[in-house]
Amino acid sequence: MAVEKQFLPRRAMSIHAHPDDQEFTVAGTLARWTASGCETISVIVTSGEAGSNDPTHGAGFKPELARVREQEQRSANAILGIQETVFLGYPDGELEPSLALRRDLTRLIRRYRPEVVVIGDPQGVFYGNGYINHPDHRAAAQAALYAVFPSSETRLIFTDLLAEGLAPHKVKRVYVHGSEKPDTWVDVSQTLEIKITALREHVSQLGDWDPAEMIREWACEEGKQHDIRYAEAYKVMVMESEEDRG
Ligand SMILES: [Zn+2]
């Protein structure tokens, strides 16, 4: 598939574990799509309430931090042109790829009926020698992947959703970021600065650090073998191609 220049979904859903995951990873792609008229729904499984190592804070701080981080995510999404933000309120740092989570994500996919779902890599454990992938990232990715297939498109899985009036929905593509073997590179040269501006909204996590240089380096690295100034890389699963639609 290589360089993806043409594909622009009409509706996309981005599913991530924490506020800021989306901005560190796929926000350039989402900004590109929304600029072309794609309606985007941003789903955040936890509210990131464990995201502090400040020794003056204990458990009582978590609800407050959740509110702060939800607001940061809403501000970031507004910058990216995302209309809809959904928080599922699962516990940060303790996420499992449970059937309950898969059902909740299936409900959202059937309700919003996105053409494309954007997720992390459920297989990603080690990144280089310096980063162990957060288990919440994998849990959210796994639950989301299996919500797409088979749960969303299969009528008799989660029949309680059918009883809620939510008919099956077939997602056409899944964009997986953080894959060891990407096969698709989205040109984000026009939207990388929007991505950085959105990421900067996550003040509770960034403190005084400006992530701009690191984000530009990552995007430059992804793009350089494909003659793109700045890219985001994906493994893309195509469940229904344009040709299938006829
Ligand atoms: Zn995260």
Instruction: Give the tens place of pLDDT for each residue, 119-143.
Output: 999 999 999 999 999 999 999 999 9
Q: Is 48 exposed, middle or buried (0-12, 13-18, 19+ CB in 10 A)?
A: buried
Tokens 């989301």 -> residue: 144
For residue 44, pLDDT beyond 90: yes
Q: How many angstroms does the Cα of residue 155 sit away from the middle of ligand 1?
A: 32
> 179-194, pLDDT tens digit by residue?
999 999 999 999 999 9
Q: How many angstroms does the Cα of residue 27 sit away from the middle of ligand 1?
A: 14
Q: How many angstroms does the Cα of residue 119 sit away from the middle of ligand 1?
A: 12
Rounded CA separation 72/96 (Å): 24
Q: How many angstroms does the Cα of residue 162 sit away from the middle of ligand 1?
A: 32
Element (H, E) at 193: helix 192-199
For residue 9, pLDDT beyond 50: yes
Q: How many angstroms does the Cα of residue 221 sit away from the middle of ligand 1?
A: 21
Q: How many angstroms does the Cα of residue 23 sit away from the middle of ligand 1?
A: 10
For residue 2, pLDDT beyond 90: no
pLDDT bin (cut points 50, 70, 90) of residue 5 is low
Go through 94-126 and write b for each residue having 16 or more CB atoms within 10 A of its CB, e for each that does not.
Answer: ebebeeebbbbbbbbbbebbbbbbbbbbbbbee
Q: How many angstroms does the Cα of residue 217 sit away from the middle of ligand 1?
A: 20
Sign of the CA dihedral with 223 first, then 225, 226, and 229 last: positive
Q: What are phi and psi of 209, to 5 degrees?
A: -75, 130
> 193-209, pLDDT tens digit by residue?
999 999 999 999 999 99
> 78-121, pLDDT tens digit by residue?
999 999 999 999 999 999 999 999 999 999 999 999 999 999 99
pLDDT bin (cut points 50, 70, 90) of residue 148 is very high
Q: How many angstroms does the Cα of residue 229 sit away from the middle of ligand 1?
A: 26
Do strands 173-177 and 126-127 pair parallel, antiparallel, or not at all (unpaired)? unpaired
Q: How many angstroms does the Cα of residue 58 sit away from the middle of ligand 1?
A: 20
pLDDT bin (cut points 50, 70, 90) of residue 240 is confident
Q: How many angstroms does the Cα of residue 244 sit away from the middle of ligand 1?
A: 35
Sheet strand arrangement including 173-177: 2-4, 184-187, 231-238, 173-177, 116-119, 11-16, 39-46, 84-90
The amino acid sitting at 98 is S
pLDDT at 1: 52
State what percent of residues in the chain have pLDDT above 90. Answer: 93
Kindly report the average pLDDT of the chain as a whole number. Answer: 95
Q: How many angstroms does the Cα of residue 48 sit away from the middle of ligand 1?
A: 8
pLDDT bin (cut points 50, 70, 90) of residue 246 is very low
* Contact between residue 206 and residue 200 where contact means Cβ atoms under 8 Å apart: yes
Q: How many angstroms does the Cα of residue 224 sit away from the middle of ligand 1?
A: 26
Tokens 């501006």 -> residue: 197
Q: How many angstroms does the Cα of residue 18 sit away from the middle of ligand 1?
A: 5
Q: Torsion-angle region of residue 5: left (phi > 0), alpha (psi -120 to 50) or beta?
A: alpha
Cα separations in angstroms, 50 against 66, 74, 219: 8, 18, 28
Q: How many angstroms does the Cα of residue 120 sit away from the middle of ligand 1?
A: 10
The amino acid sitting at 35 is A
